[in-house]
Structure 1
């Protein structure tokens, strides 16, 4: 039995393996317990192994790469078309095995431990930000029920709410005052967690030469730069700059037929977090450019003359993604006078 290509359906405890030989004939169908996976592939001749890019996929990819196997991670939406019948572990493993062998298949880069650790900081920070926003909205909504309106902006919660609680003229019940005070304290704890995680992200950013290089691009700060470096990994995995922008969902969707090209809004595929950071950073760069009265003959100046600020922000985010590819893949240093040339490289 010589397995040349194998597909693994990952799970918490029970893994399904499907293997084929060089002619595409099925030669292996096996169910493995979690502790059996590493020993099994250690005794298997080196081959191409495919897995869905899901939970624990990067961990197992590193484990199997250490055993000299070639590992490829496939996005789940690219595996689905190869499932022939009803969904089960065996059918999924067979579909993964089929998908990974396709010559034009797109793969997810395998992340190392450091990349995953940095992304964990970003994910937890984002979770605390959502919790902080939800807590602020809850406080604002509860006070509104008593006719007390807090101005917009999360900073006004900590600044205005304590005064409202201490004001005896608003006739709030004592139990409600204590409740809101407790919620404000919880909001401050969440804010402290966010600031602590941002400090850790910035500390990692200062130690990373590549991340500091990306920070030179207008609209990209330490948080965005560190997220880009940790998520993209090896930029050479993308053939060109547009492929990276498409991977982030920043290029137009197409609905073309009969030789007629029809472009719609951006596809919004890929990592929502990265795309959000780039677009928010682009908005900040546009505001800075407007304050500095950017020349109308510049790329951004011409864009703002013919497009709305929101459209311009997405276009600038798309351009920045392409510049990021040029800096990472070609080991360049950012220069403002070469930004346009680097973006089109």
Structure 2
């Protein structure tokens, strides 16, 4: 994307003031320790439920207008323990009278969750928040399954019932890849930070449209300084902005630019409101203080990392965390030959972006990181993208170790 727009979610001025950020972080109120322990508590609850011989394993195949609910229990036979399906049914979640989905499915789920050992799972689709809220309010156990789990089943035939039963059976075998779900409050803060990122990209898009339009009409690319001056003049004079008139633009063109400049201005005002709220609630996020002490980690990247990680205890190992950040290798080799690549997009896109940006900034502000980056550049034949991604993966491992052991980040130990 055009490098003249430097506001695509990186506040370089804040990064340059890293020492001030660290000083402010020291003055912050005590971090909410519960943010770091919810994952451990959930894992303990899951282990306790699994230890019961009567545990209900619940698989949920969630759709926009219904869910398929399957419940499996262990049944002892002479040959050993086998799974027995005690319930498998589709439940509609949409009614014309406006009844909420949770009111329709709660009486059914309650039969298998209330005061009974249970573990439920649902695939990570686009509409699972309301279901997670229902389980959280009632103190029930719900985990989030990797969507690729069902696709790997490779059954001869597949439908909603088989998918739900497969999830439940994988839970019973403890062979399901799943994630501990963040509490509702943390998810809302995370979505707030994500919305800020989306808004910044939208603002940059409008500015780039203006730049490209003017480049096409006046024959040269305007600078960032000229763009800021144009936005300021437009806010005061609208389509009669002196710069637009000096360039000899027609009324039709000025109307087009007026639309995009107005959009950019309105989005900018919205971003300011989002950032005010993020600054208010973000200070109490776990790990904010630790992350801001890293070279190059300003408030924007800190808010992304802290809100997306939630609790480092969600990840069993550093390798799991690096994979979740989309920074693990996906190459498939056999006898030294490449057999293709795995799903490189299986993970968190926001953490992937944040660690890549942090690696780029750390190379700029840390001599140790710069030396290591130059070494990687020589190793990978001056392929900058490869080198910076390897550096980002190394940073992710270091962040995991620091947060899990509650130790400060040491750039010399990292590189």
Pair 1:272 & 2:353 matched: no
Counterpart of 1:116? 187
Counterparts of 1:210-229 in structure 2, within 5 Å, are: 210-229=287-306
Shift, 1:262, TM fit: 8.7
CA contact (8 A) 2:203 2:268 kept: yes
SS in 1 for 2:164: helix
Pair 1:78 & 2:149 matched: yes
Pair 1:37 & 2:105 matched: yes
Q: Structure 1 residues 174 and 160, CA, compared in 2 at 3 Å: closer, same or farther?
A: same
Q: Say which of 39, 56, 61 aligns to 1:4.
A: 56
Pair 1:134 & 2:205 matched: yes
Counterpart of 1:343? none
Q: Structure 1 residues 199 and 113, CA, compared in 2 at 3 Å: closer, same or farther?
A: same
Counterpart of 1:27? 86
Q: Structure 1 residues 84 and 166, CA, compared in 2 at 3 Å: closer, same or farther?
A: same
SS in 2 for 1:84: coil
CA contact (8 A) 1:17 1:30 kept: yes
CA contact (8 A) 2:285 2:307 kept: no
Shift, 1:135, TM fit: 1.5
RMSD between aligned alpha carbons?
Answer: 3.2
**For residues 177-229 of structure 1, what are the alpha-carbon distances to aligned partners after superposition, in whole Å with 9 as ceiling and x for unaligned?**
23323421221222222233233323333333521211212243322222222
Shift, 1:166, TM fit: 2.2
Q: Structure 1 residues 305 and 204, CA, compared in 2 at 3 Å: closer, same or farther?
A: farther
SS in 2 for 1:229: helix
Deviates more, 1:66-75 or 1:22-31: 66-75
CA contact (8 A) 2:332 2:339 kept: yes
Counterparts of 1:135-284 in structure 2, within 5 Å, are: 135-151=206-222, 153=224, 156-160=226-230, 162-167=241-246, 170-258=247-335, 267-284=344-361
Cα distance in 2 between the residues matched to 1:265 and 1:219: 31
SS in 1 for 2:287: helix
Shift, 1:256, TM fit: 1.6
Residues matched between the structures, number:
332
SS in 2 for 1:124: helix
SS in 2 for 1:190: helix
Q: Structure 1 residues 150 and 188, CA, compared in 2 at 3 Å: closer, same or farther?
A: farther
Q: Normalising by the residue count of structure 2, what TM-score does the alignment of the two structures yield?
A: 0.70
Counterpart of 2:15? none
What are structure 1's unaligned runs of at least 5 residues? 341-345
CA contact (8 A) 1:52 1:74 kept: yes
Higher relative contact order (CA 8 A, sep 6+): 2
Q: Structure 1 residues 219 and 108, CA, compared in 2 at 3 Å: closer, same or farther?
A: farther
What are structure 2's unaligned runs of at least 5 residues? 1-53, 75-81, 93-100, 232-240
CA contact (8 A) 1:215 1:222 kept: yes
SS in 1 for 2:152: helix
Counterpart of 2:365? 288
CA contact (8 A) 1:165 1:181 kept: no
Cα distance in 2 between the residues matched to 1:279 and 1:79: 30
Counterpart of 2:70? 18
Shift, 1:160, TM fit: 4.6
